[in-house]
Amino acid sequence: MAKRKKYVIPNLLIENYAAEGKCIARHEEKVIFVEGAVPGDVANVFVHRNKKDWAEANVNEIVSYSKDRVDAFCEHFGICGGCKWQMLPYKLQLKYKEQQVKDQLKRIGRIEVQEYLPIKGAAETTHYRNKLEFTFSTKQYLTSKQLNEGLPFDKNVLGFHAPKYFDKVIDINTCHLQPEPTNAIKNFVRDYALQHQLTYHDIKNHHGLLRTLMIRVASTGEVLINLVFGEDNKPAIEHLMSAIQLAFPSITSLNYTINLKMNDTIYDQDVICYAGKEFIEEKLHTGNDDIAFTFKISPKSFFQTNTKQAEELYRITRDFAECTGQETLYDLYCGTGSIGIFLSPLVKTIIGVETVEDAILDARINAENNQVSNAHFYAGDVIKICNDAFFNLNGKPDVVVIDPPRAGCHEKLLEKLIEIKSPTIVYVSCNPATQARDLAFLSSHYIATKSQAVDMFPHTHHVENVVQLKLRDEG
């Protein structure tokens, strides 16, 4: 058969789960990675990427559904790219996430972990996020069916970016990711804007008043709002902010930002506190004697978006660190210091390093507010700051905790870790594929002794993983 770039495969049986939300099927001795299906489905799929031994495809139509499927709970399922696994029972989601971690550690890193602990699932699979950001847009995303029905795409909408489209937004009525008053606030702002004919942001041409709406709801019950405007229209801004304050007096921190730039980042912009405090407070419970640490969160702060599962993640990190109270622990990529502060009662000294200076300022404030005196935080590139002089000043680590971004660790940092020979490394990862690559680099000097996955984001394919490494006996 002649090689075809793009084609349809009918009645393809989806056999198993692969990774990153894709499943595996086989056709004419070729592996097909299919998006939009679950194991057990039979589907007509469209091959959009075709290689010699493998191909990638999307589902055109489900011919027969897997017996494992369940009904999705969200009206936006199948259009919104957020919770793509709603059709899978949660137990199966955990099974496939655990499988993904093991497969990637073995296949990519060729790592033989001595002990795999069971994945830590979430007790709450909806309303688990503490932060959401909605986008205002003049362009509505429509499915092919909706376009054929003649629905207009030139429409003011408030919701989430459509997958793979930077300029089109899905109009969201109810989102199940975050507790109330999130939906109530979002829908109030949308209704107010419609009633008062406020302009929405044109993402392509960069004009329009309303740009983004960020809402944080802490486990403490405190609520923070930051409404971002694309125009400096003070009367319109003041009227809207006043209306929000009147409608939702329980909002703890009501803020706005005027962003006239081409991009949506606000880290270089001034945040104006319209009403209430300039921050909210979140708590992380350690599980030991009901000790809890309090963190101040401002509109620009980074904080784990699932508070309950962050506690589980940090408890596993603490257990893997195996501290006795005498250790010097280095927390690399420390962010606002949450991991280091969480572990501070069990070590002698915490040394935190983070590139983002604002995060380090927050980390120092968090340490002070929690009366943590044994934590010291430094701003700088991890690769550059962790040199011999730095180790001479602060002492060599007994334990290193690394929690890098999705891209993983820089090779120079991995070389430095091998050089300093910390007896224990705890690698916290939001991307098991890059974690596996980094573990392979370290494997000549370190043994992977334990691994445990944590589900931070139910109904998505994302999974966190924690690995304990022990220095090999060079004797």
Alpha helices in 76-214 (DSSP H): 90-107, 144-148, 182-195
Residues 117 and 94: beta-carbon distance below 8 Å? no
Q: Is 407 helix (H, G, I), strand (E, B) or coil?
A: coil
Strands 375-379 and 424-429: unpaired
In which residue are the tokens 């897997």 written? Answer: 66
Place of tokens 């573990």: 439
Q: CA–CA separation, 306 vs 130, rounded Å?
A: 6
Instruction: Name which of 335, 310, 128, 302 is nearest 217 in CA terms.
Output: 128
Phi then psi for residue 434, to 5 deg, are -75, -30
Contact between 458 and 125 (Cβ < 8 Å)? yes
Contacts 24+ apart (CB under 8 A), 76-79: 76/170, 76/172, 76/173, 76/175, 79/141, 79/143, 79/162, 79/170
Bridge pairing between strands 424-429 and 399-402: parallel
If you count them, how many residues does the chain have?
Answer: 475
Place of tokens 């419609």: 194
CA separation for the pair 192, 96 (Å, rounded): 43
430 is a catalytic site residue: yes
Q: What is the DSSP string of 287-314?
A: SSTT-EEEEEE-TT----S-HHHHHHHH
CA distances from 25 to 44, 88, 344, 392, 433 (A): 12, 18, 48, 54, 21
Residues 146, 76: Cα–Cα separation, whole Å: 14
Q: How far apart are CA 330 and CA 320, in angstroms?
A: 14
Among 80, 386, 409, 430, the active-site one is: 430
Active site residues: 430
